[in-house]
Amino acid sequence: MTKLDELRNNIDEIDQKIIALLAQRFKYTEEVGIYKAKYHLNAQDANRESQQFQRIFQLSDQNGLNPEYSSEIYRRIIDIVISRHQELVTMEG
């Protein structure tokens, strides 16, 4: 195995973990969306979003990751979650 193969294998292992964690995260956000729909709460919570981004920036700094990278990734994740919550609220309403 070459060094390049080894590096790529490491990346593949990390990707597997990321996907597993994303699946777990989306299960929880689905439960949040169902809760919001049941209790007629807004699909989007600007305060929570702001807290998340502050935490994400801190975690990025602590782990030596450019906060712009994580911010862009999480912006997309949060947009997907909000869209799903809007669907659930519409279905419940």
CA 34 to CA 28: how far, in whole Å? 10
Contact 15, 70 (CB under 8 A): no
CA 43 to CA 90: how far, in whole Å? 10
List the chain pLDDT tens, one digit each, 93 residues: 999 999 999 999 999 999 999 999 999 999 999 999 999 999 999 999 999 999 999 999 999 999 999 999 999 999 999 999 999 989 876
Q: Give all domains of the chain, ordered by start, each with its CATH number.
A: 3-92 (1.20.59.10)
Q: For 43, which DSSP code?
A: S
pLDDT of residue 93: 66
Q: What is the pTM of this model?
A: 0.89
CA 33 to CA 41: how far, in whole Å? 9
Q: If you count them, how many residues does the chain have?
A: 93
